[in-house]
Amino acid sequence: MRKFVLTACGLCAWLACAGAARAQDDECRAVVARAMKAAGGEDRLAALSKAAQFKAKGTVSIMGMDLDFTAEFFTQQPDRYKLAGELTFNGQNVPVTQVVNGDKGWNHFMGKTEDMDADTLKMVKDETHLDRVTNLVALKDKDFKLSLVGEAKVGEHQAVGVLVTRTDQRDVTLYFDKKTHLLVKSECRMFDQFAKQEVNQEKFFSDYKEFVAGLRSPGRIVVHTDGKRFIEMTVSELRGVERHDDSIFARP
């Protein structure tokens, strides 16, 4: 009899925990669903989730220097990425290209093309994963586990945080404005290709605009690493495509 009672109590405790976990998962997915609706709906976000192209300009802090840049970005899930831009250094515009195509990646700078080291290649792939997470549509996949991390102040926004985990990928915490439901911040660990070490990366999203009819996307993105401003950029164009031409990701 005693064994039966203990077993029954254990089963009740397990059911209570499982029920609480399901309730939290449901609440997290409701937060994400509201965010997708606020941005313009799942269908419009899905149009950007396969492949996208956008242009931006801003400043990047490298080795104590604030350098102006212009750039065009090409993304194609799951493993293609390209940055084609120019850095202004000592009054000169210096072309810079960075590409990841599957398991290979390279940088083209000052007329030279060099393979990415393993850490930088992983960093760009982690950024691609981060882009997928912040697009939100993929979070409907049950491979992504969601849990609440509570409320937080993000600038002037009162936000609710959702931790996103997936096997063999970086954990990402997303913060959504409680009033507008829009994404205002992401946070994760990331490799810094300049410092050559792991850092805490925060991305702040603001100035939402309709680059695509009916879809609200951030027009301003600010990136901090370990609490210091790293990148500040303004988006000027954004569009989704079904697929980029293979030549875009070809090695120069």
Question: Domains in the chain, ordered, with CATH?
Answer: 19-249 (2.50.20.10)
The answer on pLDDT for 16 being more than 80 is: no
Write down the pLDDT at residue 15.
36
Encoded tokens for 117: 């080291």
Confidence tier at 166 by pLDDT (50, 70, 90): very high
Sign of the dihedral defined by the CA atoms of residues 42, 44, 47, 50, in that order:
negative
DSSP 137-181: GGGGSTTSEEEEEEEEEETTEEEEEEEEE-TTS--EEEEEETTT-
For residues 90 and 97, what is the distance between their CA atoms, to the nearest angstrom? Answer: 19
Task: Give me the residues paired with residue 196 across strands.
Answer: none
Element (H, E) at 43: helix 42-49
For residues 16 and 249, what is the distance between their CA atoms, to the nearest angstrom? Answer: 51
Write down the pLDDT at residue 64.
84
pLDDT (tens digit per residue) in 84-102: 999 998 889 999 999 999 9
pLDDT (tens digit per residue) in 186-222: 999 999 888 888 999 999 999 999 999 999 999 999 9
